[in-house]
């Protein structure tokens, strides 16, 4: 299946409230942390609402809906329907929230999200490290790509080690094969295991995986990985405000990538 033909599969796939929120935040260019700040709630609390482990109240729906530019009653209805097991498509719910002509609201370009099969084709089934799209072949790669960390519409990266600044002001990496320890009360720079190369037509949203929020960790990072990003190590700042050391193992998700194609 080619990326161009994946929209038919996308329309058939069920969705989740987390995916709906990710789409809404992406269109407003907001990270999860930024949205939580605007709503005066913690990022971990917002993450639990997105995952369905905490309910969405009418009052909280009003707080969240404002920054996302949607109606609170519709947002609450979408949350309740998905919690009840609705099998309506992602597109169906987005049209309810934003209107059927949502793509026409963009100035200059429109975006479409890659789904499971698209991500697998572009990154997982691509030993050459290049992909032809719109008649042009370009470099595109995620090193150490593991299909076990591929979700319905995202890919979960892993933690690989800690970055430190040496006495010369240069960044050095202390790699770990098994786990990364975030000391209690400290902030450290954590390097992502995978290295990424993007073509001109692809960008990705970067956000902490849901299990990171349950550890009580706060992650500071740029909201997007831009087109033509080329193989540089990705490093994020992780704060552990708890009183115990927190461990991120190599076998668990760290930062989640959601991919978007620019449709000019």
Give dist(CA 64, CA 36) in Å, integer.
8
Strand 224-225 relative to strand 202-208, pairing: antiparallel
Task: Name residue, tokens 């349950």.
Answer: 214
Same domain, 45 and 128: no
Same domain, 73 and 25: yes
Over residues 24-83, the pLDDT tens digits come to 988 888 888 899 999 999 999 998 999 888 999 999 999 999 999 899 999 999 999 999
Strand partners, 110: 263
Same domain, 16 and 129: no
Instruction: Provide the pLDDT for residue 111.
Output: 61
Q: What is the mean pLDDT of residues 187-195?
A: 93
Q: What is the mean pLDDT of residues 185-208?
A: 92
Same domain, 13 and 126: no
Domain count of the fold of the chain: 2
Over residues 8-23, the pLDDT tens digits come to 333 334 688 998 998 8
Same domain, 123 and 88: no
Over residues 81-122, the pLDDT tens digits come to 999 888 888 888 888 888 754 444 444 444 678 888 899 999
Same domain, 55 and 77: yes
Q: What is the pTM of this model?
A: 0.63
Give the structural domain span for 257.
Answer: 113-263
**Is residue 187 very low, low, confident or very high in pLDDT (cuts 50, 70, 90)?**
very high
Where among 78, 105, 132 does a domain terminate?
A: 105
Tokens of 190: 């954590």
Over residues 212-247, the pLDDT tens digits come to 988 999 998 877 898 999 988 899 999 999 999 999
Where among 86, 105, 124 does a domain terminate?
A: 105
Same domain, 126 and 253: yes
Same domain, 176 and 254: yes
Same domain, 117 and 98: no
Tokens of 80: 């309740």
Can you give the CATH number for the domain in which 156 is found? 2.70.40.10
Same domain, 142 and 202: yes
Can you give the CATH number for the domain in which 92 is found? 1.10.260.40
Where among 63, 83, 105 does a domain terminate?
A: 105
Same domain, 126 and 27: no
Give dist(CA 43, CA 208) in Å, integer.
10
- Better pLDDT: 246 or 165: 246
């Amino acid at each position: 299946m080619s990326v161009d033909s994946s929209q038919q599969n996308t329309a058939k796939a069920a969705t989740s409230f987390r995916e709906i929120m990710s789409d809404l935040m992406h269109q407003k260019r907001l990270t999860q942390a930024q949205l939580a700040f605007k709503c005066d709630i913690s990022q971990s609390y917002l993450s639990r609402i997105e995952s369905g482990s905490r309910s969405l109240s009418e009052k909280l729906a009003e707080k969240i809906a404002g920054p996302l530019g949607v109606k609170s009653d519709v947002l609450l209805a979408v949350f309740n329907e998905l919690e009840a097991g609705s099998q309506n498509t992602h597109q169906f719910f987005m049209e309810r929230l934003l209107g059927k002509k949502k793509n026409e609201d963009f100035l200059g370009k429109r975006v479409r999200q890659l789904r499971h099969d698209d991500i697998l084709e572009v990154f997982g089934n691509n030993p050459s490290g290049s992909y032809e799209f719109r008649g042009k072949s370009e470099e595109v790669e995620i090193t150490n790509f593991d299909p076990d960390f591929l979700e319905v519409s995202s890919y979960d990266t892993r933690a690989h080690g800690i970055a430190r600044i040496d006495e010369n002001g240069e960044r050095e990496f202390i790699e770990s094969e098994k786990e990364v320890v975030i000391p209690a009360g400290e902030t450290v720079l954590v390097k992502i295991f995978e290295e990424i190369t993007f073509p001109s037509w692809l960008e990705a949203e970067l956000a902490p995986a849901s299990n990171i929020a349950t550890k009580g960790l706060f992650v500071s990072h740029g909201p997007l990985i831009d087109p033509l990003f080329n193989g540089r190590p990705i490093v994020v700042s992780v704060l552990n405000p708890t009183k115990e050391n927190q461990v991120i193992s190599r076998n668990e998700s760290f930062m989640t990538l959601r991919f978007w194609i620019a449709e000019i």
